[in-house]
Amino acid sequence: MGIREAREVLKLYFGYDKFRPGQEEIVTSVLEKRDTVVLMPTGGGKSICYQVPGLVMPGISVVVSPLIALMKDQVEALLSNGVQAAYLNSSQSSAEQQRVEQQCYDGKLKMLYVSPEKLLSAGFFSFLKSLKINLFAIDEAHCISAWGHDFRPEYLQLKNLKLQFPDVPVIALTATADRLTQRDILTQLYLQDPKVFISSFDRPNIYLQVKPGQKRMEAILDFLEERPFQPGIIYCLSRKATETMARKLQEKGYNADYYHAGLSARDREKVQEKFLQDNVMIMCATIAFGMGIDKSNVRWVIHYNLPKNLESYYQEIGRGGRDGAPAEALLFHSLGDVMTLRDFITQGGENSKEQALSLAKLDRMQQYAESTSCRRKTLMHYFGEEYQKDCGNCDICDNPPTSFNGTELAQKILSAVARTKETVASAQVVDILRGSRNQMTLNKGYDKLKTFGAGRDVPAQEWQRYIHQLINKGLLDIAYDEHGALKLNANSKEVLFDGKQVELVKFQPIDPKEEKEKRTKGKSRSAVENALFEHLRQLRKELAAERNIPPYVVFTDN
Ligand code: ADP
Ligand code: MG
């Protein structure tokens, strides 16, 4: 019973010629009956890591999985590969459950999927004791961590597995890799001297891009126009927003639909199925969409709003390009979103420790969005990976910013903040610098300030970026509990009064046309493709027009 048999099982049941990097070592560890922890990105191939050793060893494997829909898919996939598998959860009738239990007693099953609720239900452990269990696999193991975004209190009870079955190896698997979650998995499951496998979380085929949040709908329409055949996901912050987005896109003739937790289970399953089969091309969804969905050809993922942390962000964009072909992740970023998320966190009634952590995580998310160096490097460092070179597949690498002596600009910003007595937010500071005569500046008499209009020559978006940079460099503070009012600190005073020099990064605002050329380098369209795109544009127009036909128009044959 060793890796040779494992390779045979891999070929025989799954049809794969070889293990992916990492899988073989993990399978070996399980076959040695070691407790094993697997941190591998979504789509990396975690299932094989417990399914193969489970099939090689005599007895039955018990797999704990948090989602009923997932469980069903996995079991069906196994059955179609000729593996005797079944599941037990609360959605089944008691007759069904009894039938499965009988199959277990009769030794007819190799793999049993159970929900955590079922596992903890009365009498279930004594049922398990009567079986010959070769392995416990705990999928989506990050659900055990209260720090994580998918915390399931029932997962905490899984420590009883190790207490009750000290001789059965446990393998815990997740795509969430931050250190706190890792530590929770190790300690909460009472794992014995576990072997931990961390595969690279890099997904080099995903192009990473961040755009300013202003005019994001226009930017999305431009984006879609260029990608008419590509399935993709647009993540929105609220349920309502997913519906509005889907409707707007439908009105433009796009094949879009929406998904959120407010839909009935049936509707959710239906729309998900359509997306899986390419019958819906664009899914507008809340983060409720996607966990464990195995659709390999998602070509792009757009975040209409800033996600609340990098773990969620990375997991969500990881649903793109699972087939390894090029995919894109486009994130929209605005300080307004940051404020909204802060409000969510601070009003959530969480305890202060959790709040502090959530806020810290949000800060890191924001830093990523405002990063001035290779995005992939920033991400990989966040997940604790070494990453030396620039990736060459993100917007920063495509358009590297150049730095310049920004002391004068910084002084203008800081003195505007000082003159408004540190009471205004960044958007208003920009108004003052640009000399905008609007209600706010006039009512408050800001047009009389010395700094009013001191920076007309710099576009508003650029000022915003410089303010972000000063905040990121610790030269300026932002009081989120005072509607984002900007505040001076000791460092700002050095810049203002002691001649401290400030290096800023210049952003060449990219002309959309130029950007398109850059992204399609050497891939100009053929005449046939051009005709096809034009035809599609026409088709969308017609579809859109059809949708707008008022219901009282009656068509007749003559
Ligand atoms: P995860 O649970 O890590 O998100 P899955 O276990 O669902 O990933 O696997 C993702 C995809 O990779 C599946 O389609 C699976 O069949 C495929 N896969 C896994 N291991 C291999 C392998 N050794 N060779 C080829 N394909 C594999
Ligand atoms: Mg999985």
By most ligand atoms within 8 Å of CB, the mutation choice from 48, 63, 142 for ligand 1 is 48
Residue whose CA is at the smallest distance from ligand 1 atom 18: 45
Strands 232-235 and 111-114: unpaired
Tell whether the model's pLDDT for residue 429 goes beyond 50. yes
What integer pLDDT is reported at residue 364 of this predicted model?
A: 87
**How many CB atoms within 10 Å of residue 92?**
16
By most ligand atoms within 8 Å of CB, the mutation choice from 25, 37, 47 for ligand 1 is 47
pLDDT in tens, 224-245: 999 988 999 999 999 999 999 9
What integer pLDDT is reported at residue 552 of this predicted model?
A: 38
Listing DSSP states for 481-507 in one string gives GGTTEEE--HHHHHHHHS----EEEE-
Q: What mean pLDDT value characterizes the chain?
A: 88
Minimum mean pLDDT range among 338-352, 398-412, 502-516: 502-516
Q: Is 477 within 8 Å of 489 (Cβ atoms)?
A: yes
Which atom of ligand 1 is closest in space to residue 46's alpha carbon?
3
Nearest residue to 247 (alpha-carbon basis) of 238, 239, 237, 257: 257
Name residues whose C-beta falls within 8 Å of residue 252's C-beta, 6 or more positions apart in sequence: 221, 540, 544
Q: Which of the ligands is closest to the CA of residue 319?
A: 1
Which atom of ligand 1 is closest in space to residue 41's alpha carbon?
3
Mean pLDDT of 199-224: 91
Task: Round to whole Å and give the CA distance between 207 and 181.
Answer: 27
Residue 43 beta carbon below 6 angstroms from any ligand 1 atom: yes
228 CA to middle of ligand 2, Å?
29
* Structure-token pair, residue 326: 């090029």
**How many CB atoms within 10 Å of residue 554?**
5
16 CA to middle of ligand 1, Å?
10
pLDDT in tens, 130-172: 999 999 999 999 998 877 667 888 888 898 999 999 999 999 9
**Helix or strand holding residue 206 (H, E):** strand 206-212
Residue 48 beta carbon below 6 angstroms from any ligand 1 atom: yes
CA-to-CA dists, residue 23 to 18, 64, 232, 341, angstroms: 9, 20, 29, 38
pLDDT in tens, 459-511: 888 898 899 889 878 899 888 777 778 999 999 999 999 999 999 988 666 66
Q: For the chain, percent helix, then strand, then coil, each to nearest 5?
A: 45, 15, 40
Give the pLDDT band of residue 550 (cuts 50, 70, 90).
very low
Task: Round to whole Å and give the CA distance between 469 and 413.
Answer: 11
ipTM of the complex model: 0.98
CA-to-CA dists, residue 175 to 18, 64, 110, angstroms: 22, 15, 25
Task: Quote the pTM value.
Answer: 0.69
Query: CA 329, 332, 333, 336: dihedral to nearest 10 degrees?
Result: -150
By most ligand atoms within 8 Å of CB, the mutation choice from 8, 9, 16, 67 for ligand 1 is 16
Residue 16 beta carbon below 6 angstroms from any ligand 1 atom: yes
Tell whether the model's pLDDT for residue 404 goes beyond 50. yes
Nearest residue to 107 (alpha-carbon basis) of 126, 130, 74: 130
Beta bridge partners of 480: none
Task: Round to whole Å and give the CA distance between 191 and 169.
Answer: 9
Which atom of ligand 1 is closest in space to residue 18's alpha carbon?
23
Task: Round to whole Å and give the CA distance between 39 and 198.
Answer: 5
Nearest residue to 53 (alpha-carbon basis) of 73, 23, 80: 23
If one compares 13 and 549, the residue with the highest pLDDT of the two is: 13
What integer pLDDT is reported at residue 44 of this predicted model?
A: 82
Which atom of ligand 1 is closest in space to residue 19's alpha carbon?
23
